[in-house]
Structure formats: C-alpha cells, structure tokens
Structure 1
C-alpha cells in the first residue's frame, strides 16, 4: 500500500513538471492511443539492443524537452550562452525542438522528411497487410491525416516520442495489421524511422554549426562541462543527468502502463 501511494505521488510530481505540460491537455490526450503508446515505450525500454540505446536516450531527451538546444543551454549555463544565441540555422528565432520544424532555412529538409514518411507508411502497410491494397486509396487516406499540419494539436513529431495517434492505429487495423506482435513491429519501424531522420538530417547538422559557433566564441569542452555559477541561472532549472532523466522517464512509463495508461 505504501509503495502504491509513493508510486502515485511520483506520477503526479512527474506530470506536474513544466516540461510535461503536454500530458495535461485533455484535447490532445484524446488524439493519442495511450495504451499502445505506453506499451511501445515499455517494449523499447526492455527489449532494446545495445547499439540502439543511444537512440532511445535521444528519444527520452526529446520527450522531456531536455535536448541541448540553445534555448535550454541559455537556461542551464547563462554564463556561457547569452540571449544572443539563436537557432543555428536561421540565426533569428529561439532555438527549440518545436522551432526546427518551422525554421525557414530548413523547410526543404522538413518537407523531405514528411514526404519520405508518407511513402514509408504506404510501403510498410503494403508489406504487412493481409489485404489486396488499392495504393491510390491508401495514399489518399494517409494524406488526410491531420498530423501533417506541423504545429497543430497533434502532429507527426509526436511519433518520435512513441506517442501514436488513434488515427494511425485505426488505419493499420483497417488494413488488418492487428496481431499484437506485428502491430508493435510496424509501429517501432515507423517511430524509429522518424526519430532517425530527425537525428541525421537536422540534429547532427545543427550540432556541427553549434560547435563552430562555440569555437568562434571561445567556449571549450571544459567550459561546457563545468558547473555554472552564474546568478542568472533560472530558479528550478537543473542540468538533469542522462541516467536520472532516463530512469525517471522509464519509471513513469512503467507505472502508467501497469495501471492501464492515462
């Protein structure tokens, strides 16, 4: 009983963090199949291959808004990163995870990712469905998804967080992709593919630009690892350790999943 109370307190505290504000939006919650999404997270947590562990950690940082974007770096180390640090691509807007998808300088990359994801969805459904498929009809159904509208309540970037829409699940079931192991196999390929595209085509080029700018400003690796002593550090902002962050995220998924989701 005591353990149950502590678990409930942990879930409540975790959900009340500002970075987890998304989970308190009732309209959004209804668009996501949480039972499947939470199980997908649990599968990734326990069945992950060693070589995929970095990608899983990368996913968790996105889920918890802990990627070292300029917006986060300014909060963690204001003595190194002042207010002039902006998006590494456009040099104008605040650099956040959400901004990357709207950044004017990389819209061609974003549109290529969207295009390839649509093609991949058609291909994977054709591969695993037991139905004879009308390809044009399938393409039409995929194009009708609301998630292609970047910035809407639920867009395709949620797939990187293993948060799968009810609309996508309904489409897979419509084409007889219903057997549990097969369903999760297909979903892991979809969510993993989107995550890898972002990492390779946007995040890694961004890191290259960030390193060049840091060198120009005389910021060394030693400086970045040093603890910030600036009085401008925001109250409550912590440079969360990767292991602690991952542990808390996995624990939350564990508890939420075994209690039937949201």
Structure 2
C-alpha cells in the first residue's frame, strides 16, 4: 500500500488528509475494485471485460486521454490539441469530469449515485427500526458531491478511492461491515458503468470522428514511432516551426509572389492545429514555387 501511494498519480490523496468528511477507506477501495457485478439485462457478461478494463484504468489514471497520448505518440498528437468534445481545454482526467459538454450527464450520474445510497440507507433503517434521516443528511453533506477543479474529494470518488463514511453510516444502522461493503461496491460499480457509457463512450466517439478525419488509423497507431529517421524527414507535429522560420528569398522583387501565396491561405484554419500545420505546408509550397520562379528567371537572363 505504501509503495502504491508513493506513486505520483496517487499524490492527490494527501490533499484529503485535512478533510474530516473524506477519509479514504482503502479496504473498501480494494474490495470495490475487485468486486464482480452480477450479470443482468443492464450488465451482460460480454460487457464485463470492458467494465473491468475501464475501472482499473480509471483507478490507475491510465485512460488514453489526449494529454497522455501527446507524451506517448507526439508524432500523431500535436501539443496544441484540445478536447475533441468542447475544443477548448486540454484533455486530462480532470477535464474529462469537468468538460462543459458532459456537465449535465455528469451531474445526473452523481445524483443517481446519491439516490442509490439514500435508498439503501432507508432500507437499512427499516430493518433496524431506526430513523435514517440523520445518516442521509450526513451523507448528503459530503464535499465529494460538488464537482469542481479544486475539490479533490469528488476527484477521489470518481477515481475509486472511497470514503470511510460510506461504511460507517451503514454500521450505525447495525449492518455488518462485510454486507455494507458489498452494497457500496455494487453501487459504485453501477456508477462506473454509467460513467463509461454516458461520459467515456461519447467522448471516445467524438475523438474517433476526429481520428477518421485525420486518417489516424489503427495500423498507424500500432506502428512504432520512427526513431532512426533524420530530423529533416521525421518531424513531430508538436515541433513544427512557425512560419517566421522560413527562408527569405534573396530576390526582393519576388517577395510579392511568396507573400500573396501565404496571405491567400491565411484564412484557412482548422481547430486541430489552430492553423499551424496548414500554414506550415502552405509556406513550404510558396517557398518551392518562389525557387522555381527564380530558376526560370535565371535561365532567361
């Protein structure tokens, strides 16, 4: 456990040490990670592997988000690339949660999570003949239900680091700890399933449309990144030089030709590269044409 928490990806948990309302229960967390939901109409057996893969990648912060892909394949994903859903922010795990295009379903998923817990607390209260209202009030006051970029407890909940209070409330209603852990694990796995279907899958669809448009095929993604090509041949998108690095023609009388070519395409812009790649290649074409023009004039002279 200590080795795991020493990893950089789990350092955010230290931000929770000062919060009395969100103390991570690691026993509950491991139990939930290894929990196997029962198969029914809403969770068929052939979806189980996808569910487990997504759950563990989410917990290990290993989802193929764009900010990670820029590191692993800078030849395919430019550094300026933003979320393919909102096209505004860079896409990391925090943005996946906060993306403006996913705000409504994310709120609904959290509300469903709360409602499931409330329902089970009421059932436990009926069994114990105890009023569960104080427990429900305490549960609803947890900071993790408010999603924001500065709220690490909501981040921890989505990640799968579950709070001790979830179990404590059931134990206060005389529910055995093991039974309470099964209830919470089932509810959280239902939450993960909805997160995958309503947040991750639409996000993946938006990204796949962009990849198809950019001709980033499976074969291209599975081809190793070239390592033995000269720098002049293999240039990652993120390292493309700006247009100001172009070689200026020595013949000032031909500058109008080069400038007119660049200006003619100046309005051509795409969201993916913010126009950078197109301007880069247009400038190359313009420089080439200028060279041809100069060579033609030299022959005439």
Q: TM above 0.5, one fold? A: yes
1:24 deviates by 5.2
For 1:154, the equivalent position in structure 2 comes to 153
For 1:222, the equivalent position in structure 2 comes to 219
For 2:186, the equivalent position in structure 1 comes to 189
- Name stretches of at least 5 consecutive residues in structure 2 with no aligned partner: 37-44, 228-234, 238-301
Alignment pair present for 1:144 and 2:141: yes
Counterparts of 2:128 and 2:107 in 1: how far apart (Å)? 30
For 1:21, the equivalent position in structure 2 comes to 11
Structure 1 window deviating more from structure 2 (115-124 vs 130-139): it is 130-139
Counterparts of 2:124 and 2:131 in 1: how far apart (Å)? 14
Higher relative contact order (CA 8 A, sep 6+): 1
Alignment pair present for 1:31 and 2:31: no
Alignment pair present for 1:87 and 2:83: yes
1:115 is matched with which residue: 108, 111, 114? 111
For 1:241, the equivalent position in structure 2 comes to none
Structure 1 window deviating more from structure 2 (60-69 vs 196-205): it is 60-69
Q: How many residues align?
A: 218
Matches within 5 A, 1:55-94: 55-94=51-90
- C-alpha contact (below 8 Å) 2:31/2:185 kept by paired residues: no
Residues 135 and 89 of structure 1: is their aligned pair in 2 closer, same or farther, counting only changes over 3 Å? farther
- C-alpha contact (below 8 Å) 1:80/1:219 kept by paired residues: yes
1:205 deviates by 0.5
1:111 deviates by 1.1
For 1:172, the equivalent position in structure 2 comes to 170
- C-alpha contact (below 8 Å) 1:109/1:201 kept by paired residues: yes
Please list the CA deviations of residues 48-75 of structure 1 after superposition, one character each: whole Å capped at 9, or x if unmatched.
x885333122111112211011111111
SS at match of 2:198: helix
Please list the CA deviations of residues 217-248 of structure 1 after superposition, one character each: whole Å capped at 9, or x if unmatched.
11111111122236879xxxxxxxxxxxxxxx
Counterparts of 1:145 and 1:19 in 2: how far apart (Å)? 23
Residues 135 and 36 of structure 1: is their aligned pair in 2 closer, same or farther, counting only changes over 3 Å? closer
Structure with higher Rg: it is: 2
SS at match of 2:205: helix
1:96 is matched with which residue: 88, 92, 95? 92
- C-alpha contact (below 8 Å) 1:74/1:81 kept by paired residues: yes
Residues 105 and 42 of structure 1: is their aligned pair in 2 closer, same or farther, counting only changes over 3 Å? closer
Alignment pair present for 1:202 and 2:196: no
1:22 deviates by 3.1
Residues 197 and 135 of structure 1: is their aligned pair in 2 closer, same or farther, counting only changes over 3 Å? same
SS at match of 2:51: helix
Counterparts of 2:180 and 2:88 in 1: how far apart (Å)? 42
SS at match of 1:110: helix
1:131 deviates by 2.5
Deviation above 6 Å: which 4+ runs of structure 1?
230-233
What TM-score does the superposition give when structure 2 sets the normalisation length?
0.63
Please list the CA deviations of residues 173-221 of structure 1 after superposition, one character each: whole Å capped at 9, or x if unmatched.
22222241x1222022121011111100010001111110011111111
Counterparts of 1:135 and 1:22 in 2: how far apart (Å)? 32
For 1:258, the equivalent position in structure 2 comes to none
